[in-house]
Amino acid sequence: MGGFSSTLAQQARKSNLISVIGTTGVGKSKLSVSLALKLNGEIINGDSMQMYKGLDTMTNKHPLEERFGVEHHLLGHIDDLTAQYTVKQFETEAEAVVDKIERERRKLPILVGGTHYYIQSFLFTNKTVAPERELTSQEAEFLETAETKEIFEKLKELDPVVSQKFHPRDRRKLATALKVCFTTSRRASDIYKEQSAPTTVNQSLTRYRNLVFWLWCEPDTLDTRLDARVDTMLERGNLLGEVKQMSDLYRTLDPPPSMETGVWQVIGFKEFLPFVSSQAEDDKVNGLEDMKRVTRKYADKQVRWIRKRMLAPAAEAGDDATIVVLDATDLSKWKENVEDKAVEISRAFLNGESIPQSARAPAHLSHLLQLEDTTQPGKGKWEPEKWKHYECDLCVVDGEKFVCLGEEQWKTHLRQKRHVKRVKRIKEQEAFERWKAKKAAEAQTTEEYKQDP
Ligand SMILES: [Zn+2]
């Protein structure tokens, strides 16, 4: 009884938070401003690149005239472009801002972003591994420039269990695990173990009672829209000016920071860097193409991140986190498909109602909310007994022994044609060598016989 009522009390204390997530270029800012105007809200930026001051074109800051006087927080509040902003900092600052919006201003906090890693770790408090510190420049350099083999060896040294989980050539996964080892005081394997532990409803802890709008746009349509946006940035925005500004600053930094960290990751900088120094038309064309390609890839990654990392914790949080998909594909139907629907659902949510499943996605998009199957072997499961590298002494790929991940793969490999062929060839070779040895021995005996009549 006591436990039950304290749970109720706890839930009663949770305040409401509305979030807007989705890929870049889908209209998150527009929707959040509409919601803020209709529901008396203020906006908290959850896009890591937009936290930096300036670079308004490259980071897609919502233009001032389209904010209609709605207060925006954590937007352009980092003056120093060389500063590293961390997810921990975001959590602390966002929490304080939510509190301020609610208690002091008696308004509704609306979080919009961008950086789904930030959003996820802010919404679900036990699902991310927040780094305890930044990478040192040495570590960052190692992760970027070391041979994959060296990264594997280092991981094997720091966390032997997890080093067997990934293929020794899978640089990205090895580097991610190694980064965890570097920046937390724990082993990556311990954290993976914890995250893969089965959870039941409400185990996914939330700070707030959450309503999350996931703005969706059909990929082909989105790609066209993203391409057009990049063109506009170049033609009408200050894209090149901002790249120039960044590159001037970058050149003064010693040692040069990794382009995988801080503001240097912003899409557009790396891509237009060659043009800014060469001013060659070719570099401009390539830069534009690269930036479009990277932007589309980023959008794709954002969708996968939402599906993989937001849906499951939301399901576990039960009534504390409701995700609602809105279809923003047809912009001519924005008002009915997106804006009006979002306002209506928000009002029900703020009244304390639970949003019925049928209202959580239009029928043609309900599949987006289905949890990905995690029962497949090797997919997010904690099975260290299955994590073992098997090296084949016979099969060599690019000068290295072929490696299988786990017994199952190994057994399959042993049956594979190219492996079986090699075994056969080697057996034949061995038989031939034996035959040759035998012949030589016979010849020797004959020789001895001749010499010893
Ligand atoms: Zn083999």
Residues 6+ away with beta carbon under 8 Å from 331: 27
**Confidence check: pLDDT of 11 > 60:** no
pLDDT at 10: 47
Task: Give per-residue pLDDT as tens, 181-215.
Answer: 998 877 878 777 766 665 544 455 889 999 999 99
Length of the chain (residues): 453
State the Cα–Cα distance between residues 442 and 295, nearest whole angstrom: 73
Ligand 1 centroid to residue 416 C-alpha, Å: 8
Angle between helices 148-158 and 171-183 (to 10 degrees): 40
pLDDT at 198: 55
**Long-range contacts: 392-395, Cβ < 8 Å, 24+?**
392/419, 394/419, 394/422, 394/423, 394/426, 395/419, 395/422
CA distances from residue 248 to 80, 264, 355 in whole angstroms, order as listed: 14, 12, 51
**Confidence check: pLDDT of 130 > 90:** no
Domains and CATH numbers, the chain: 10-127+204-238+296-369 (3.40.50.300), 390-451 (no CATH)
DSSP character string of 233-291: HHHTS-HHHHHHHHHHHHHH-SSPPPTTSGGGGSTTHHHHHHHHHH--HHHHHHHHHHH
Q: pLDDT: is 316 or 82 the higher one?
A: 82
Ligand 1 centroid to residue 425 C-alpha, Å: 12
Ligand 1 centroid to residue 176 C-alpha, Å: 29
Map residue 445 onto helix, strand or coil: helix
Ligand 1 centroid to residue 410 C-alpha, Å: 9
pLDDT at 122: 93
Ligand 1 centroid to residue 394 C-alpha, Å: 5
Ligand 1 centroid to residue 162 C-alpha, Å: 24
Task: Give per-residue pLDDT as tens, 401-435.
Answer: 899 988 889 999 999 999 999 999 999 999 999 99
Ligand 1 centroid to residue 419 C-alpha, Å: 4
Which of 37, 448, 59 lies closest to 246 in space, CA to CA?
Answer: 59
Ligand 1 centroid to residue 177 C-alpha, Å: 28
Ligand 1 centroid to residue 348 C-alpha, Å: 61
Map residue 41 onto helix, strand or coil: strand
- Check residue 384 and report its DSSP letter: G
User: Which ranges in 146-201 belong to alpha helices (H)?
Assistant: 148-158, 160-163, 171-183, 188-196
Task: Give per-residue pLDDT as tens, 144-154.
Answer: 899 999 999 99
**Confidence check: pLDDT of 37 > 70:** yes
pLDDT at 449: 67
Map residue 184 onto helix, strand or coil: coil
The pLDDT-based confidence of 308 (bands split at 50, 70, 90) is confident
- Check residue 65 and report its DSSP letter: G
Task: Provide mean pLDDT across the span 112-132.
Answer: 81
